[in-house]
Each structure stands twice: as structure tokens, then as C-alpha cells.
Amino acid sequence: MIHDYLPMNRADMNIRGWKQCDFVYVSGDAYVDHPSFGHAIITRLLEAHGYKVGIIAQPDWKDPESIRVLGEPRLGFFVSGGNMDSMVNHYSVSKKRRQQDSYTPGGVMGRRPDYATVVYCNLIRSVYKRVPIIIGGIEASLRRLAHYDYWSDRLKHSILIDSQADLISYGMGERSVVEIADALNSGIDIKDITFIDGTVYKTSSLDSVYDALTLPSYGAMKENKLEYARSYYIQYSNTDPFTGKRLVEPYQDNLYVVQNPPSKPLTTGEMDEVYDLPYMRNYHPSYEEEGGVPAIREIKFSLISNRGCFGACSFCALTFHQGRIIQVRSHDSLVAEAKLLTEEPDFKGYIHDVGGPTADFRSPACEKQLTKGACPNRQCLFPEPCRNLKADHSDYIELLRKLRSLPKVKKVFIRSGIRFDYVLADPSRKFLKELCQYHVSGQLKVAPEHVADKVLSRMGKPQNKVYRQFVKEYKDMNAQLGMKQYLVPYLMSSHPGSGLPEAIELAEYLRDLGYMPEQVQDFYPTPSTISTCMYYTGYDPRTMEKVYVPTNPHEKAMQRALIQYRNPKNYELVEEALKKAGRTDLIGYDKKCLIRPRFSGGGQSAGGKRPGNGQPASGKRPGNGQPAGGYPAARQRDDKPAGKKKTIRNVHKKVKK
């Protein structure tokens, strides 16, 4: 086996002595041969199973020749839109075009189409009429059945129908992709591959479909949003590989989309094998002239230690994609990879992250999940930790100790986020101590998301008192260690359930904290989340209760402005919101007020200063560029692609209580 990048053109194939690829992988991302990229994992896994695999990265979707560069594959095409849904990659929550694509050489925007998976598949089908097409990745996985599409503001078909593909491999895909490849290689027609877990297929008859739940038809869901809410919750309750049922979504009398149960989670040994494959660990050298691929910067010196998340936040799609059962790599595998990092010429001694969707989840939530799966109608941490939850950080502590003891390693950071409620559920505080002492760089980012319990309940997040308890314990631990370190909270505006009163409650909390975020995350309705279902239908699919949903752009702007009420540019929006909510008591000169009144005369400035008072309406002291209270400025989590993270200023100033 040649240890090099996989072929991207005929010349590369000739070097390997290939006349034809077995599979061609078409990706919306540039070719980065690193296990943080789905296309790298799938192609290397297929290679390890003896298949000849080539890659077409970011083909020109307007030119059929771009899909012919490797010729027709012997067995089929695998297609993915990339590491992100192409629409999230292209547009902000306000539907404005982004300026940079971090998964493209030089960060250039426009190298992939909107709805990339659909466009690529239709391009392939226009050139190769009968070749099997299998789609996967986050875009296909979250659009595998009928789904609300925020950008077109309508209910869309299963992506399997619009793309003309033959099969979807949903979820992480390692098991199903190998089974699909082996089935095709054995001579089974793609239309007869209907038996593999973790796949979705089309059929004209249900005669051979057994033990299935029938969802509302696409027509019924389009007519009645409540039907979609009911359908969504059935899907959500069948995402577990041990208890999930086969699902059938009718479209017409002779067209059905069938979702097989999810694939079983990988064992630790299987995870190790996936991450021990011979990756080149960098972007393809052909991109060097364009400045490389920006996304590599954040992940090149990071370690993926787990996948899956039993936190199950309502606005997160992980339940639909990776599932709720935690899968982990062994210490030996992670230490071996860390040693590889230390040999890189540009390694500076810092491992940027050791984690996954949630860094401190290193085992299933309870023993039962290993054999019976996650509870279909209950959550592990919400509304409070389950009595069967095994909250134990000892394995993670041991792993971090091994990594930071390696030669050449100066510091090991944790940046992929921790669950503060899980930290508190652990009766030991050893992890909190070691986290503060060794793994924080002045600021720890956590995600309370909001402070109003009414909103938190819709988010699937713990009550605000839990976050307040963590803030206290974090502060006390740092004081005990003699360290000055701060918390940076991620906050979200306009989530379903949040009206102006709840947005004002959040603003008052920030006032009391003495902190104003530099940027704010507005709720982004991405496909296949509980929150998106609420946004589209106006109902919580878990309870079928009616939910207030802020959809008006102006109200959403007011909610965002309230979180940044000190910014003079937001004055009019904040004033309007307070008046509309009947909270004019927060307009004045008292310390509890959010903004000061404006006068038409009498020397009152447009910035809202009281006559003779030199304090700007922004709440900053003249000459002091720090946020009020000296709280460190927060980064926008937004929907920004990985690799576009901003550095946060490290502010060593006492936070107001």
C-alpha cells in the first residue's frame, strides 16, 4: 500500500498502476486527509478493506467534465456535501452570504453549490446513468427524511428523492459503508441493498418491508404542520441503535422512503482502528499555492477522544447524526496520536483540544446503554440528572494526565466544551480542580445558553440555578488555586419559547454580571432538531404543547440587541423592546436600568448621556476599552465553520458579582 494522498486525477492513478477506481468519493470540502474530516475517514476505511478509492474534491458543478476526471468507478460513487451542511456553510442565520469558506483552499467562498449533495448527485446522474450513488455526511444524514428547510422556508422531500441517489448512509457511517461496498462487490444490485442498518432507500412496494412504523405521508405533513411534528417525534424516538424501529415515509402510491434502524456504535477497538488509519494529517499539497485550507488550523493539533452525546440539547442535531451513546478511543490510541503531533515541525508544545461533541463524556451515561440503548422517551441530564447516570471523570482525568506528561507537551487545553451539569453531578471535584489547574487558558467557555427557565426547558438545558452553582464552584476553585480565570458563557437569542420578557430577563442577568458579549448567537433552525421542529410548527413535538416562536426578523433583532444593550448602535431597538414589553422601569439613571432616556434638547447627546455626566450610554468608562466589569469578551459561536474561531482577549480584571 502506498502511503500517500489518494488519487485526485488520472496521473495519480497511473502512479498506483490503476486503470479504474472501485469507488470515487465526491466531496464538497477540499481534500484534507485528517480524521476530523468525514471524507478522509470513509476513504481510508474503504482502502483498508482493499478497495481502490479516488477523490474528486469540490468539482465544478457546472461542468460535466469535472466529474469524469477519474473515469467511471467500477462499483459506485460516494457523495458528501462536506463537514457542514452546505447551506449553513454558505449563509448566516440572517441568510446573508458568508465571506469565507474555511473548508476551501484560501478560504474562498463559492467553490461548492447550495444544496451541494443534491447538485453533485444530479451532475453524476447526468453523466453516468446507471452507476450506483450512495450519499452520506451531515447534509444527507439530517435530510434523510422529509425536513423543514429554513433557507427556502418549506418542507422538503427526503434528500434521497431530490438527489436521484440510490442509498443514504446516515450517521457516522463506518459500518454501513463497508457493508454497502462488500454487497456491491459481491454482485448485489444497488436496488436490492435494503437490509443494512444505518441506511435509507427508496422502494415502489412495501411487500418486503417488515416490522416498520409508518410515518405520516409527505402530503399530509405538507398540509398540516402538526402531522410533521408528530412524524418528527417518532423519528427522534427511533434514533437509538438498540431500540430504533424501521420507519416508512410514504410519498405516492408507488414511492416510499424506508429508513432502516441505526448502525450499532463502534467498540473502543473499532474506534482505535478508524483513527489509526494511515492519514497524511494535512490538506493535499496542491492547495499550498492558494494558502492551504483554513479549517486545518484548529484541528491539526487536537485529538478526538469520543463521539456521541447524551446531553441531547434541543437545538443540536447530534442525536440524529452521532446518537446518544458515547463511543471512545483508548488511552493508548490517543497517546500514540499525541506523540505523532509532537513530531510535527510546527508543533509548539500545545495540544489544542482533547474531546468531541462534549469533551468530558468518556463513557455511556449508564451501564444499560451498552446492551439496551438509550431510553427513547427520557433524557440522561434533563430536566435533572437521571438516577442511573454514572457521572465519573476518573478515566478522562487519567487520560489528560498521560497526555500532559508527554515530552514536548507544554499544555493540554480543553476547547470542545464541557457539560457543567455533568461536572456537578460527579460527587468528586477532582476533575474541576484539574480542569482549572491545568487545562484552561485564562477563560473557560461554557454553554448555559439562557437564564430564563421557561426557555431553558425548551432547549433541553438545566435550570439556571445549576449554572449559577457551577459559576460559584468554578470561582471558588480558582480562588483556592490562587488563579485568575474567567467563564465565557455562550448565549442564544430568539430560541423557541423566548419572548421579549425572557430576552429582558437575560439582559438583566448580564447587567448584574457586569458583562456584555461582543457577539451573540441567534437561534439557527438547521435540519432535524427539536428546536427547528418547534420553529416550523409552533409546537413542542415532545409534548405537543403550543410554543411561542419569535420568527419576525424585527423581534429577533430586538432580542439580540437586548443581550448587547450597552452597544450604542442598539439603543433604538432596546428602547423599543422595553417599551413594547412594558418595562420602561429599565429606562433611567438608576443602576438597575439598562439604558438612559434620550431628550430632544437640554444638552442631551445622541448617545443618551445625562447632562453633565461623562459616562457613555455604552456603560464603558472613558478610555477603558474593556466591557463593563472587566468580563472577558465572548466569541460568536454562531454557525461559523470550524477553523473560523476568533481569539478572545484575556482580561485579568475582577468580575462584578
Alpha-carbon distance 304 to 375, whole Å? Answer: 26
Q: What Å distances lie between residue 571 and 140, 499, 596, CA to CA?
A: 42, 19, 9
CA distances from 226 to 233, 236, 498 (A): 11, 15, 21
Question: Can you name the residues that pair with 199 across neighbouring β-strands?
Answer: 169
Cα–Cα distances (Å) from 191 to 72, 167, 233, 423, in that order, read 19, 9, 29, 48
Q: Is the dihedral of CA 238, 172, 338, 28 positive or negative?
A: negative
Has 309 been labeled as part of a binding site? Answer: yes
Per the DSSP assignment, residues forming a β-bridge with 249 are 257
Is 313 annotated to bind ligand?
Answer: yes
200-202-207-209 Cα dihedral, nearest 10 degrees: 10
Structural contact between residues 325 and 373, judged by C-beta atoms closer than 8 angstroms: yes
Rounded Cα distance, 31 and 55, in Å:
8
Residue 465 burial (C-beta neighbours within 10 Å; 0-12, 13-18, 19+): exposed
Residues β-bridged to residue 486: 443
Contact 276, 290 (CB under 8 A): no
d(CA 367, CA 377): 18
Q: Is 380 annotated as a binding residue?
A: no
Q: β-strand 154-156 against 545-546: which pairing, if any?
A: unpaired
Please report, as a single letter, which amino acid is at residue 597.
P
List binding-site positions for [4Fe-4S] cluster: 309, 313, 316
List binding-site positions: 309, 313, 316
